[in-house]
Structure 1
Amino acid sequence: MTEEDRTLPAVVEEAHASGFFEDHDGHDFQPDVMFMWSGETTEWWRHWTGDSAAGAPPFRVFGRDGSGGLAAFWIRAPGAAIETQPIVFLGSEGELQVIARDLGDYLWLLASGVGPLETVDGLHRVPEPVPELVAIAQRYTGTAPRTVEALIAAADAELPALTALVNSATK
């Protein structure tokens, strides 16, 4: 048996360590300190899809909400860097949402003051930028901020492919 690398990208660890989640109203998100073990993810996938024979899912889970829904990198393009993969939410009640089209967009959402699950539940407030996270996002992406609306629209464009994946796996 080989040792599984469960290490999150360093910038994700840094962003999650900022304290934003503990001090942020408007969402229920509990970031993990490492990726969920793949065996546990497979068991969850089998239960979630209703297919006890389902193979390993294309997700690397890094957080959850209080009801048991999971936030994960969706390994849409195997072999591509994880930082280029979409970030998704698979809810305990079947909710399905693309949170961000890639890690850079995820960091800009956080920097804009938007919690990852607010893209699922809807944004019900005017978000305020978080200076520490703005600095992290700028350093990581090397780009200027994009509007929350543009980030959400880019993520929403990925939803049909995620829906097709889930529909093909659901019994």
Structure 2
Amino acid sequence: MNETTGDDRSLPPALADVARLGFDYDDGNGIDFEAYDAFCPAEETTDWLRQWTGNPEVDGDAYRLFGQDGTGGNAAVWYARPGRPLAEQPVVFMGSEGECGVVAGNLSDFLWMLADGHGPLEAVLFGIDGSRPDAALTALAERHATTPRRPAHALLAEARAEFPSFAEDIAALCR
């Protein structure tokens, strides 16, 4: 077991509910996201990160991949806060064309982002352009969230302010 991140690959109840709910892309007006029913295995995560960065020396221990968009970009929980539980870790996105960014400061804020109609791809590639509330995702967030509801643009700004160098740190790993 990795002392920094642990090796638990079971989804927390909130993400399991996200996976069961599913998403409607709605011809580009919805959320382009497919949640997995389990975190990707450690070896698969490391293989993916090595391919994504072109760096055979990196490992995926700090990431728990839990979904992807239609182009193959991945959403992950990133163990950026040592010693804190998974639910308190930020959510990040690494796109199929090298785009990357922090999406939410923790899983609870990620649920509110989804409830506001924005997924990981949309947040990183296009930013937040208003609110498109989703009733089912709002109900899910209301059941599981431990943080107060805030607009998606505020959640994204808070996460990026807390982790301003994430994209540059990832770029530094690329070969």
TM above 0.5, one fold? yes
Normalized against structure 1, the TM-score is what? Answer: 0.84
Q: How does 1:124-163 map to 2 (within 5 A)?
A: 126-163=130-167
What is the RMSD computed on CA atoms of the aligned residues? 2.4
Give the CA deviation at 1:94: 1.0
**Deviations 1:43-97, CA, capped at 9 Å, x for gaps:** 1111122211223441100011222211100111233111111100111211011
Change (3 A) 1:6 1:143: closer
**Could you tell me which of 75, 79, 84 is aligned with 1:75?**
79
Q: How does 1:12-51 map to 2 (within 5 A)?
A: 12-19=15-22, 21-22=23-24, 24=26, 25-51=29-55
Q: Which residue pairs with 1:8 in the alignment? A: 11
Say which SS state the counterpart of residue 103 (structure 2) adopts: strand
Q: Which residue pairs with 2:125 in the alignment? A: 121
Change (3 A) 1:80 1:138: same
Gaps (5+ residues) in structure 2? 2-6
What is the aligned-residue identity percentage? Answer: 40
Checking the alignment, whether the CA contact within 8 Å between 2:31 and 2:117 is kept in structure 1 is: no
**Distance in 2 of aligned mates of 1:65 and 1:139:** 25
Change (3 A) 1:150 1:125: closer
**Distance in 2 of aligned mates of 1:144 and 1:54:** 36
Q: Which residue pairs with 2:4 in the alignment? A: none
What amino acid is aligned across from residue 45 of structure 1 in structure 2?
A: L
Checking the alignment, whether the CA contact within 8 Å between 1:26 and 1:118 is kept in structure 2 is: no
**Distance in 1 of aligned mates of 2:47 and 2:120:** 24
Stretch moving more, 25-34 or 99-108: 25-34
Checking the alignment, whether the CA contact within 8 Å between 2:102 and 2:163 is kept in structure 1 is: yes
**Deviations 1:111-131, CA, capped at 9 Å, x for gaps:** 112223210222586533223
Say which SS state the counterpart of residue 50 (structure 2) adopts: helix
Q: Which residue pairs with 1:167 in the alignment? A: 171
Give the CA deviation at 1:149: 1.8
